[in-house]
Structure 1
Amino acid sequence: MEKTLDELLCAAAMAGNSAMVRDLLLRGADPSFFDSEGKTPLMHAAAVGHGEVVRCLLDAGAPWNALSPSNVSAGDLAMENAHQEAFDVLLNFAIQAELVLGTIARGGGDGEGAASQEVYLSERVSFGEDRIVDAESKAVMMAWEKPLMEAHARAICCFGDVGGKILNVGFGMGLVDEAIQRYKPLEHTIVEAHPEVYDRMIQSGWGEKENVKIVFGKWQDVLPQLGSFDGIFFDTYGEYYDDMREFHQNLHRLLKPGGIYSYFNGFCGSNAFFHVVYCQLVALELENLGYSTQFIPLPVKECISEDIWKGLKHKYWQLDTYNLPVCQASLDSE
């Protein structure tokens, strides 16, 4: 049986025949075609490391973020097979695409992120021994994150020229705040917007700690009363990437020179390549604001078992490694 143009394009991509790929595209072959294996021409080219073909297909409109039935992207295939050239081409293209379009982790604009947060703040949450769950049975925070929160606290309390004033935006289960307290900060400010979480904080005695100041409200509303800090951690629920980007625009007024900023790096926690894209995207945008970012890889496979997701709608983290961000004002920034 004669192959279609689309099938021939997959074969040419797999063979690394860039001339044939260009010819087939000119003849109308579809760069977004999925073959019987559930792969696109771009996936085939990335899997075998044909960087030139990868670039050609992307330029022709091949979707870099298409997923196979097993949730694998072209970038994942390049990573798994250690094809650096193909990986670099895909990563650079993906970052540029996200800067322009924001197709995988943002709320899509039009206030969708704000709307999602408003819904979360207006609904009840359920408190369990190992989790907080929203009204849609999605986890707000889970106990398996405790080692990560301890590492975040260590980063913002012990790195750089820290003088002891710490800010955490988003209390949740209080895991990072418990860890921060062990470093005995001079001042420890906590911003929390959900009324039930806030009430639970008060009932648990957080308002009685001498060095703790609790600020109830959305961070966007309480920014003017926060002051400046040596260390900042950001971890809100019900917001999208654009909301965190807005927070980053205000870092210069919140973070003291030499201070350390970190955030919960949960973007695209079910796809390794998408996660790398967002690590690099955030680092690039922070660099443009005058901050350098390093990522500390933390193995989390042992922290997560299939059982912990029982009763939940969404497995928000499925990767073996968590990349903990440590951000600091660049030495040459003003």
Structure 2
Amino acid sequence: MAEQATEEDILLAKRIISAAERHDVPALKVLLKEGSANVQDPTASVATSPLHAAIIACGKAEEGKEAAVDAVQTVELLLQNGAIWNDLNKEDETPGCIALRLGQKKIYDMMVEAGVRAEILFAKMAALGLGGDADDEEEEEDEISEEQPAAKKQKVSEEDAKAIQEAVEEQVLDDVSLDNRAYLKSQLRYKPGILLDESDNAVMMDWETQIMQRHAETLIPKSGLRTMNVGHGMGIVDTAILTHDPAEHHIIEAHPQVHARLREQGWYDKPNVTIHEGRWQDILPKLVEQGVVLDAIYYDTFAEDYAALKEFFAEYVIQLLAKDGKFGWYNGLGADRQICYDVYTKVAEIDLYEAGFDTAWENIDVPSGLHGSKQWEGTRRPYWTIDVYRLPVNTFVK
């Protein structure tokens, strides 16, 4: 359990936030030797972090005018001292959201770069098995997630740990999109223009049709190619792929209800089409063993995180794709918040390059009025709230 803040703690928090708001770098340097860059004033009517306060104080950017030097230095100092790039205030805004809203481009770019650094760092730590030790009372670690602001890991009792695990399990059952195996056991509902899971999450919607068609065009420049799509859903991209007359087209799909729909619509009988029933994690190793080579691969699964996408291209695309082939994937990472979308797009580009791929991006405007429209009625939450889709086309580094 977190200790109650003392009067001294509250006073120090107020002083740190005040110095950040004034962009008083010398004072902030002194104060951060005693306190955290992530403090909040529990007595304030609207809780805010020093980073939020510093960016709000910049005000609306004037045309062509960048933030003042002291403001930039304040943000830099806070980030250097561990300020959390995707922390949320009471208005559900990250510091980057505020910078974007105020038109403070330089500050916004700093927040994107901070997010990229943090995500890459934590991914590398996880890969190395480095993390918080539950038995070490002295060690605490900031942990970034794709959907929530970072939180402090704290040592908890066995009883508390059990309660936390039960809460997580309840959450997974309540929202099957949080767990791939729970999703695959759930009931899907096909409705006009939308596919919903058991928890009312939109798995796919017909507004994506233009995007899917463009993916097919960028990946398959001529007929007679060997293609694959992972994740059939409503069949939008597979339908688009077949218009390019592939010599062979593989579809990997794991959900039993989608298999039934594939049968109903005659996909199993289409010429040059092979349906693989199961998770790609189980199917692809077999295709690698068989020596399958493909000219175009597309990936668009549901209820899987970025780590799954990274495993897909770093472990399997590199083995299955022809040397002059192309790889594409549905770029919906963090698409419910612009700062998150920009961060994860850059992270993906870096990871793809490390795996041996060059990435070319094409911007596509999503349908106007999509955010806040009636299109999301009946769904748990909008999975897309931004204006531009960044379409990736990946080829092997020459």
TM-score by length of 1: 0.88
Per-residue CA distance 1:285-323 (angstroms, 9 max, x = gap)? 000011011222211142625211111112111111111
CA gap of 1:165–1:311, structure 2 versus 1, over 3 A, is same
1:61 to 61, 82, 92: 82
Task: Give the structure 2 partner of residue 265 of structure 1.
Answer: 331
- Measure, in 2, the Cα distance between the counterparts of 1:20 and 1:138: 48
Q: How does 1:243-322 map to 2 (within 5 A)?
A: 243-249=308-314, 250-302=316-368, 304=370, 306-322=373-389
Per-residue CA distance 1:179-237 (angstroms, 9 max, x = gap)? 11111122111111111101101110111111211111111111122612111110011
Amino acid at match of 2:329: Y
- Using the TM superposition, give the Cα deviation of residue 82 of structure 1 relative to its aligned residue in structure 2, in angstroms: 4.5
- Using the TM superposition, give the Cα deviation of residue 38 of structure 1 relative to its aligned residue in structure 2, in angstroms: 4.4
Structure ranking higher on relative contact order (CA contacts 8 Å, 6+ apart): 1
**Pair 1:168 & 2:205 matched:** no
2:145 to 104, 118, 139: 104
8 Å CA contact 1:42–1:74 kept in 2: the answer is: yes
1:133 to 173, 196, 203: 196
Q: How does 1:26-41 map to 2 (within 5 A)?
A: 26-28=33-35, 31-33=38-40, 36-41=45-50
Task: Give the structure 1 partner of residue 253 of structure 2.
Answer: 192
- Measure, in 2, the Cα distance between the counterparts of 1:267 and 1:115: 14
Specify the SS of the correspondent of 2:368: helix
Q: How does 1:2-151 map to 2 (within 5 A)?
A: 4-28=11-35, 31-33=38-40, 36-47=45-56, 48=58, 49=67, 50-101=71-122, 103-105=144-146, 116-151=179-214
8 Å CA contact 1:162–1:230 kept in 2: the answer is: no
**Structure 2 gaps, min length 5:** 1-9, 59-66, 124-143, 151-171
Task: Give the structure 1 partner of residue 271 of structure 2.
Answer: 210
Q: Rg: which structure is higher?
A: 2
- Measure, in 1, the Cα distance between the counterparts of 2:223 and 2:14: 59
Amino acid at match of 2:54: A
8 Å CA contact 2:356–2:396 kept in 1: the answer is: yes
**Pair 1:180 & 2:241 matched:** yes
Q: Which moved more, 1:302-311 or 1:136-145?
A: 302-311
Q: Where in structure 1 do 4 or more consecutive aligned residues deviate above 4 Å?
A: 34-38, 112-115
Q: Which moved more, 1:194-203 or 1:297-306?
A: 297-306
- Measure, in 2, the Cα distance between the counterparts of 1:287 and 1:294: 11
**Pair 1:232 & 2:232 matched:** no
Task: Give the structure 1 partner of residue 168 of structure 2.
Answer: none
8 Å CA contact 2:336–2:383 kept in 1: the answer is: yes
Amino acid at match of 1:16: H
Specify the SS of the correspondent of 2:244: coil
CA gap of 1:287–1:30, structure 2 versus 1, over 3 A, is closer
Q: Which moved more, 1:31-40 or 1:16-25?
A: 31-40
CA gap of 1:274–1:162, structure 2 versus 1, over 3 A, is farther
**Structure 1 gaps, min length 5:** none
- Using the TM superposition, give the Cα deviation of residue 171 of structure 1 relative to its aligned residue in structure 2, in angstroms: 0.2
- Using the TM superposition, give the Cα deviation of residue 106 of structure 1 relative to its aligned residue in structure 2, in angstroms: 7.8
- Measure, in 2, the Cα distance between the counterparts of 1:53 and 1:326: 38
- Cα RMSD of the aligned pairs, angstroms, is 2.6
8 Å CA contact 2:253–2:278 kept in 1: the answer is: yes
Per-residue CA distance 1:105-164 (angstroms, 9 max, x = gap)? 2899xxx99981111111221111111111111111111111111111112112xx9861
**Pair 1:323 & 2:390 matched:** yes
Q: Which moved more, 1:162-171 or 1:265-274?
A: 162-171
TM-score by length of 2: 0.75
- Measure, in 1, the Cα distance between the counterparts of 2:223 and 2:22: 55
Amino acid at match of 2:333: F
Amino acid at match of 1:267: L
8 Å CA contact 1:25–1:31 kept in 2: the answer is: no
